[in-house]
Structure 1
Amino acid sequence: MKRRNTVPAAILAALLLACLIAVYVTRESGKAVGVPQKGPTGDPAASVDSQLLATANQMAALAETADEQNAAREALRLTDHEVDQNFATALRQAAAYRPPATGPLHDLSERVDRMKFQIAVEQSRIAELAKQPSSNAATQLDVAKAQLALDQDDLEDAQQDLARQGGDPHSALERAMKDREAAGHESAQALKGSSPRPTATLFEQTRAWFSLGSLDQEILAAQKEAADKAKSLSDRHNQLERQSDSGTQAGANTADQIAGLRRLSEQRKTLAELDQRIQDCQQLAGVYQGWSGLIEARRRAVLHWLLGSLAEILAILLAAMLAIIAIRRLFHKETRKRLHQAQLMAIVAVQIVALGLILLVLFGPPNQLSTIIGLATAGLTVVLRDFIVAFFGWFTLIGKNGIRVGDWVEINGVSGEVIQLGVLKTVLLESGNWTETGHPTGRQVTFSNSFAMEGHYFNFSTAGQWLWDELEVALPAGGDPYGMAEEIRKLVERETDPDAAQATEDWERVTKRYGARSFSAKPSVSLRPTGSGLSVVVRYITRAPQRNAMKSKLFQVIVDLMHKPSGTEARA
């Protein structure tokens, strides 16, 4: 028995292990691989490496706590300073750029130089004309200004052509700096909108624990990137320093010495900027290391909460198991029927309570409580539809035109006397229909009260429960049939006169209320031909509960009438 009970647990454990392995294998499925952005080929801005700044912006978007946001701001400051130094070096190198001696770039560069010289001459001429008060000078001034505007437009177009073909690296670097400043504002806004992940439930704690692990891996990757960049810049610094140690050539002329000194000055500035960039990268690696420590501390806290939630679930399961054991021992000496009913209900109740508590630990209380209540109400309405309709049908049955206990009614084709009128059920004592004897069958028929809302039922319109009944008497072949029929009518009328008078009174009361036409409650007699002669059919009114007694009484008096000494023989 114990081994059979452990088989499902082993299967569940194997399935859980398989799920955990699948989750671990697919942990990188939703992570996008960052690809460094590169400018077009030949773009001078592409020589400015801003990958560290891009990584810092990505990390800043993941900062949640105040300490992490402070670390993200420090990382952004250091990477921004490193990129500024890189741009300064690139701008200084771009200022010393010289176009090639031949080719399209050389022609465009000479065109730009000529137009700049022409614009300078025109500006000087405009300044001279502005000093002359004559009208002729004013006219020439307007013409010169128009020509200057045209030449400036041509110069701008030529500069754009030169920049597009890579002949103006300085302007390309300036545009890249403007783009970087705009991106810096976006990263600052990203820091303001961050908030820690909720960790109130086991589901949220598990998700936060794995998310913090992924974030820690990304931060360590950013730290490695900063350290590698510092090493690369250090190698470049050492190489440039060895080149600058050679100095100028001893036998060079004065012009060559001046050019060499200027070149050495530029190299010294580049070395100083490289030193600052190396220091920024090293500090950035330290910032990322501290940030990783903050993430590890948060992971330990989340793990502590997660273990607490697991302990709560285990405690709930243990309490449920102990309660089930106690229930089984409590009903151990009871009868089999009680053990099957009460024990089963108690165990199911304990399991439902335990499941509800575990769901609260896993997912917490529902946020959309009103929506859940609405859905539950709609579901209960569908499930309990018959009970609801039966309940409202009860109000119809106890109303003015309903039924009462003791009424003779017909419901869904079943006739009988009402013996119970409950909130949900109506019980009849079944009897024959209106043309049969009407004797009770002894069976109780139960109907849901929904028939009052969805079906139909028949009941008497008065409290006397009046109904028309009939009997048939065969007359002999000889004799006066009309005279005999008239005597039978008078006899029946005399026997049923009290009932007819009361029925007429009750019916007139009903007709006044509803505006129906009046009727006659007097009995009627008709002759009908049969195979053996004629028969008399008598219709009369009587009370439903007394119909059998009244019919027996009328048969008795008719037989006595037909067997008088002076009467003719007849058979009933």
Structure 2
Amino acid sequence: MKSFKSLPALVLVILFVVCLFAYYSTRDSGTPTAAQKSVSAEQPLVDTSLLQSAVNLAPLAATPDEQGEAREAWRLADHELDLRFAAELREAEAEASVPAAGPLRQLSNRIAQLQVRVDTDKKRVDDLGKNAGEALDHAQAQLDLDQDELDDAQQDLAREGGDKRARLQRLLREHEASDKVADQSLRFGTLASTGTLSEQFRAWLSLREYNRQLQAAAQEAAAQARILLDRHDTLERQLPSQPDAAASVALLRRLSAQHKTLTGLDQRVQDTKQLVIVYQRWSALVRKRLRAILHLMQGSLAAILGILLAAVLLNSFMRRAFSQIDRRRLHQVRVIARITLQLAAVLAILLILFGPPTQLSTIIGLVTAGLTVVMKDFIVAFLGWFTLMGKNGISLGDWVEIEGVSGEVIEIGLLKTVLLELGNWTETGHPTGRRVAFSNSFAMEQHYFNFSTSGQWLWDELRLTLPTTGDPYETAEKIREIVERETQADAAEAAKDWQRVTHQYGARDFSAGPAVNLRPAVNGLEVVVRYITRAPQRNVVKSNLFQAIVDLLRKPA
């Protein structure tokens, strides 16, 4: 049976682990997909990674200094790529001078023949002139046909991989076209907002990733510079120190091409080294922004800690200040002050963390509507707490009656009020030992009974039967004097409290003195004594009065 109870939890754990594994396995590696090279993928003719890195980093530049470094990085990477294209084209021309083999040789021979035919057709068209009539049209048509065949043959050779120069020229044209667009519309980023702690934290994370990409780009440029320098040194060692005077023209041309390659490598090494320096300066600017963001985050954290410290100090101050307030009102005032202080601290911290909401009225409307529908009982109970905390509410220690249950208030929470159940007003009023909790909604939807004064005064009475022997009127008068003496202080305070009530509400005045009434009984006369006392002290006062009256009756007449 227990295994079936734990089955849902086990299923949730398995699903949670699966989700974590899927999240980890599909995480972003931090490098663009286009920049990832597959082992089996075809290598590009020209490596454009340096320029691509500069273009990708440009939108991250937000300050004018960073944007200047971004432009310089793009210019250096673009110039290095132009030199790379020039070097690759020279190598392609050198390779084209070597006769091909197999099917490529046949395509090359056919292209050469077609090229001769096209040149002949062009010369014939030029010789005929504009007034040749039908002969010129025929020659022009033949030229177009031969040109189409030549283009088709060149495309076949390029598809077979035998015309590297044509592919390089096509890539160069594409690069030049993209250069014109990039030079005119190089886009940069904007400074992110850092007004709140959450925005500062997000900006700090993005700047860290930004700086990591800059360092990776600098490392890439440095690695490229080392590769170019190694190629330069290797090629320089292969060149003869002094060419032979009897060397052939082809050899001299090849040596000239190699020297041009060395010059291009020198320029590319300089560009890549300068690019490393630019990225380092750029990274220094980003690190400076990182330090500024950290400074702002420390200020926000210090403000939060200051708010918490102020809340603790104010709480301690209020605890000392409230020690002079009436004990029965102390709990309400303390709860109100503590909740107000906590709400103010939480709101201040939320403003520091997230800032003021941009759609405050909409958010309040949606939240209010949702809470009204879903949490009606809780809202009514919470509003009832404000009623209980008000002037006509209840306090700790009050004897009240709520929904027919009488008792002493021992706790007033935000949603619940707890009574220590007591007997009825006319009974002994001893605690039953039961704690009764009520939702505070009774203050809004029902009625409850409480004393009209803070002293919790009530009229109590005691009854006793006097024997027929003796003078009952004299005995009743002595009993009245005893009751008046025992309750004199309470009667005076009750009269003062009642005067405040009558002045506030316009009620009629009354006498707080005790009253003694005689009633006929079976075995004599019944004496009914009514007196005023505090509700919590009624049992003690009644016990003292009974003891004094018994002592009076035991005295001999």
Question: Given the alignment of the two structures, is residue 368 of structure 1 paired with residue 355 of structure 2, yes or no?
Answer: no
Q: Kindly tell me: are residues 165 and 197 of structure 1, through their superposed partners in 2, closer, same or farther at Cα, counting changes over 3 Å?
A: same
Match of 1:83 in 2: 81
Q: Kindly tell me: are residues 244 and 42 of structure 1, through their superposed partners in 2, closer, same or farther at Cα, counting changes over 3 Å?
A: farther
Q: Is the 8 A contact 2:45 2:168 kept in 1?
A: no
Q: Kindly tell me: are residues 159 and 194 of structure 1, through their superposed partners in 2, closer, same or farther at Cα, counting changes over 3 Å?
A: same
Alignment partner of 2:240 out of 238, 245, 263: 245
Rounded to whole Å, the distance in 2 between the matches of 1:213 and 1:336 is 57
Match of 2:413 in 1: none
* 1:123 alignment partner, SS class: helix
Q: What TM-score comes out, normalization by structure 2 length?
A: 0.59
Match of 1:122 in 2: 121
Alignment partner of 1:339 out of 330, 333, 336: 330
Task: For residues 116-153 of structure 1, give each alpha carbon's deviation from its aligned partner in whole angstroms, at most 9, with x where no partner exists.
Answer: 1111112222223336x5xxx52222222212211111
Amino acid corresponding to residue 225 of structure 1 in structure 2: E
Amino acid corresponding to residue 52 of structure 2 in structure 1: A
Give the deviation of 1:181 after TM superposition.
Answer: 3.1
Task: For residues 231-282 of structure 1, give each alpha carbon's deviation from its aligned partner in whole angstroms, at most 9, with x where no partner exists.
Answer: 21111111111111255457x6xxx521111111111111111111011011
Question: Given the alignment of the two structures, is residue 355 of structure 1 paired with residue 346 of structure 2, yes or no?
Answer: yes
Task: For residues 430-476 of structure 1, give each alpha carbon's deviation from its aligned partner in whole angstroms, at most 9, with x where no partner exists.
Answer: xxxxxxxxxxxxxxxx9999xxxxxxxxxxxxxxxxxxxxxxxxxxx
Give the deviation of 1:89 after TM superposition.
Answer: 1.0
Rounded to whole Å, the distance in 2 between the matches of 1:348 and 1:198 is 32
Amino acid corresponding to residue 101 of structure 2 in structure 1: T
Match of 1:62 in 2: 60
Task: For residues 152-211 of structure 1, give each alpha carbon's deviation from its aligned partner in whole angstroms, at most 9, with x where no partner exists.
Answer: 111111111111112221211111112323444565577434101111101111111122
Match of 2:112 in 1: 113
Q: Kindly tell me: are residues 221 and 40 of structure 1, through their superposed partners in 2, closer, same or farther at Cα, counting changes over 3 Å?
A: closer
Q: Kindly tell me: are residues 119 and 186 of structure 1, through their superposed partners in 2, closer, same or farther at Cα, counting changes over 3 Å?
A: closer
Match of 1:200 in 2: 195
Q: Is the 8 A contact 1:99 1:109 kept in 2?
A: no
Question: Given the alignment of the two structures, is residue 170 of structure 1 paired with residue 170 of structure 2, yes or no?
Answer: no
Alignment partner of 2:72 out of 68, 71, 74: 74
Q: Is the 8 A contact 2:58 2:187 kept in 1?
A: no
Give the deviation of 1:98 after TM superposition.
Answer: 3.1
Q: Is the 8 A contact 2:125 2:140 kept in 1?
A: yes
Pairwise CA RMSD? 3.4
Q: Is the 8 A contact 1:82 1:277 kept in 2?
A: yes
Question: Given the alignment of the two structures, is residue 50 of structure 1 paired with residue 48 of structure 2, yes or no?
Answer: yes
Q: Is the 8 A contact 1:115 1:151 kept in 2?
A: yes
Amino acid corresponding to residue 292 of structure 1 in structure 2: S
Q: Kindly tell me: are residues 210 and 185 of structure 1, through their superposed partners in 2, closer, same or farther at Cα, counting changes over 3 Å?
A: farther
Amino acid corresponding to residue 374 of structure 1 in structure 2: G
Larger Rg: 1
Match of 1:313 in 2: 304
* 1:332 alignment partner, SS class: helix
Q: Kindly tell me: are residues 193 and 217 of structure 1, through their superposed partners in 2, closer, same or farther at Cα, counting changes over 3 Å?
A: closer
Amino acid corresponding to residue 284 of structure 1 in structure 2: L
* Number of matched pairs: 360
Match of 2:455 in 1: none
Q: Kindly tell me: are residues 101 and 349 of structure 1, through their superposed partners in 2, closer, same or farther at Cα, counting changes over 3 Å?
A: closer
Amino acid corresponding to residue 125 of structure 1 in structure 2: R
Question: Given the alignment of the two structures, is residue 212 of structure 1 paired with residue 207 of structure 2, yes or no?
Answer: yes
Question: Given the alignment of the two structures, is residue 298 of structure 1 paired with residue 289 of structure 2, yes or no?
Answer: yes
Amino acid corresponding to residue 53 of structure 2 in structure 1: T
Q: Kindly tell me: are residues 118 and 38 of structure 1, through their superposed partners in 2, closer, same or farther at Cα, counting changes over 3 Å?
A: farther
Question: Given the alignment of the two structures, is residue 149 of structure 1 paired with residue 144 of structure 2, yes or no?
Answer: yes
Q: Is the 8 A contact 1:82 1:281 kept in 2?
A: yes
Amino acid corresponding to residue 170 of structure 1 in structure 2: R
Q: Kindly tell me: are residues 139 and 190 of structure 1, through their superposed partners in 2, closer, same or farther at Cα, counting changes over 3 Å?
A: closer
Match of 1:569 in 2: none
Amino acid corresponding to residue 147 of structure 1 in structure 2: Q
* 2:358 alignment partner, SS class: coil
Rounded to whole Å, the distance in 1 between the matches of 2:113 and 2:98 is 15
Give the deviation of 1:82 after TM superposition.
Answer: 0.7
* 2:129 alignment partner, SS class: helix
Amino acid corresponding to residue 211 of structure 2 in structure 1: D
Q: Kindly tell me: are residues 363 and 185 of structure 1, through their superposed partners in 2, closer, same or farther at Cα, counting changes over 3 Å?
A: farther
Moved over 6 A (4+): 37-43, 383-386, 446-449
Q: Is the 8 A contact 2:63 2:190 kept in 1?
A: yes
Question: Given the alignment of the two structures, is residue 224 of structure 1 paired with residue 219 of structure 2, yes or no?
Answer: yes
* 2:30 alignment partner, SS class: coil
Stretches of structure 1 that go unaligned for 5 or more consecutive residues are 1-21, 387-445, 450-572
Give the deviation of 1:378 after TM superposition.
Answer: 2.9
Task: Name the stretch that deviates more: 47-56 or 372-381.
Answer: 372-381
Q: Kindly tell me: are residues 122 and 302 of structure 1, through their superposed partners in 2, closer, same or farther at Cα, counting changes over 3 Å?
A: same
Amino acid corresponding to residue 112 of structure 1 in structure 2: I
Q: Kindly tell me: are residues 81 and 384 of structure 1, through their superposed partners in 2, closer, same or farther at Cα, counting changes over 3 Å?
A: closer
Q: Is the 8 A contact 1:201 1:363 kept in 2?
A: yes
Q: Kindly tell me: are residues 371 and 336 of structure 1, through their superposed partners in 2, closer, same or farther at Cα, counting changes over 3 Å?
A: same
Q: Is the 8 A contact 1:74 1:287 kept in 2?
A: yes
Give the deviation of 1:72 after TM superposition.
Answer: 0.6
Rounded to whole Å, the distance in 2 between the matches of 1:318 and 1:189 is 55
Q: Is the 8 A contact 2:60 2:210 kept in 1?
A: yes
Rounded to whole Å, the distance in 2 between the matches of 1:447 and 1:362 is 37
Rounded to whole Å, the distance in 2 between the matches of 1:121 and 1:228 is 51
Rounded to whole Å, the distance in 2 between the matches of 1:187 and 1:370 is 44
* 1:199 alignment partner, SS class: coil
What pairs with 1:93-492 in structure 2 (closer than 5 Å)? 93-96=91-94, 97-98=96-97, 100-130=99-129, 133=131, 137-184=132-179, 187-188=182-183, 191-248=186-243, 257-334=248-325, 336-379=327-370, 382=373
Task: For residues 377-424 of structure 1, give each alpha carbon's deviation from its aligned partner in whole angstroms, at most 9, with x where no partner exists.
Answer: 5347648989xxxxxxxxxxxxxxxxxxxxxxxxxxxxxxxxxxxxxx
Alignment partner of 1:32 out of 30, 54, 59: 30
Amino acid corresponding to residue 197 of structure 2 in structure 1: L
Rounded to whole Å, the distance in 1 between the matches of 2:372 and 2:100 is 91
Q: Is the 8 A contact 1:199 1:205 kept in 2?
A: yes
* 1:192 alignment partner, SS class: coil
Give the deviation of 1:99 after TM superposition.
Answer: 5.3
Q: Is the 8 A contact 1:313 1:361 kept in 2?
A: yes
Rounded to whole Å, the distance in 1 between the matches of 2:80 and 2:103 is 35
Rounded to whole Å, the distance in 1 between the matches of 2:263 and 2:117 is 39
